[in-house]
Amino acid sequence: MEMILLDWTRMGRTYCVAGAVRVNGQLRIIRPLPRALRDAAVRNTGWSPYLMDGHARWEVFDLPAPEPAPPQAPHLEDAWVVGLRSRRGLAPPALRRAVLDATLVPDGEPLFGVPLRTNNHKAYLLPGEGARSLTSVAVRQHQIELFAEERDDKPEPVYRVRLDVPELRDLVLPFKDHFLLGRAEQASPTPAGRLRALKLALAQMGEMVVVRLGVSRPNAPPESSSLPRCYLMADGFFSMSDPQP
Predicted local distance difference test score (pLDDT) of residue 50: 83
CA distances from residue 56 to 31, 147, 180, 182 in whole angstroms, order as listed: 16, 25, 11, 11
Predicted local distance difference test score (pLDDT) of residue 93: 95
* Residue 36 DSSP code: G
The mean per-residue pLDDT over the stretch 187-209 comes to 96
Q: Which helix (H) or strand (E) holds 26?
A: strand 26-34
Predicted local distance difference test score (pLDDT) of residue 41: 72
Phi, psi (rounded to 5 degrees) for 97: -65, -35
Torsion of CA 231, 232, 234, 239, to 10 degrees: 150
Note whether 214 and 188 are same-domain residues: yes
pLDDT in tens, 62-112: 999 899 999 999 999 999 999 999 999 999 999 999 999 999 998 889 999
- Cα 129 from Cα 232, distance rounded (Å): 13
106 versus 171: the higher-pLDDT residue is 171
Note whether 124 and 224 are same-domain residues: yes
Residue 139 lies in a domain: yes
Tell how far CA 32 is from the center of its chain. Answer: 13
pLDDT cut 90: percent of the chain above it: 79
Note whether 9 and 46 are same-domain residues: yes
108: left (phi over 0), alpha (psi -120 to 50) or beta: left
Of the candidate ranges 49-53, 109-113, 136-140, 230-234, the one whose mean pLDDT is the lowest: 49-53
Phi, psi (rounded to 5 degrees) for 65: 50, 55
- Cα 67 from Cα 27, distance rounded (Å): 17
Residue 58 lies in a domain: yes
Q: At CB < 8 A and 24+ separation, what contacts does 61-65 make?
A: 61/2, 61/3, 61/4, 61/5, 61/19, 61/85, 61/86, 61/87, 62/1, 62/2, 62/3, 62/86, 62/87, 63/1, 63/2, 63/3, 63/21, 63/30, 63/32, 65/35
The mean per-residue pLDDT over the stretch 121-132 comes to 96
Check pLDDT > 80 for residue 221: no
What is the number of domains present in the chain? Answer: 2
Residues spanned by the domain of 69: 2-95
The mean per-residue pLDDT over the stretch 21-35 comes to 94
Mean pLDDT of the chain: 92
Check pLDDT > 90 for residue 156: no
Predicted local distance difference test score (pLDDT) of residue 225: 61
Bond into 74 cis (ω within 30) = yes
Note whether 19 and 133 are same-domain residues: no
Note whether 218 and 137 are same-domain residues: yes
The mean per-residue pLDDT over the stretch 1-8 comes to 96
Predicted local distance difference test score (pLDDT) of residue 224: 61
- Cα 240 from Cα 237, distance rounded (Å): 9
Note whether 218 and 198 are same-domain residues: yes
46 versus 112: the higher-pLDDT residue is 112
Note whether 112 and 180 are same-domain residues: yes
Note whether 65 and 135 are same-domain residues: no
The mean per-residue pLDDT over the stretch 222-241 comes to 87
Check pLDDT > 80 for residue 155: no
Residue 244 lies in a domain: no
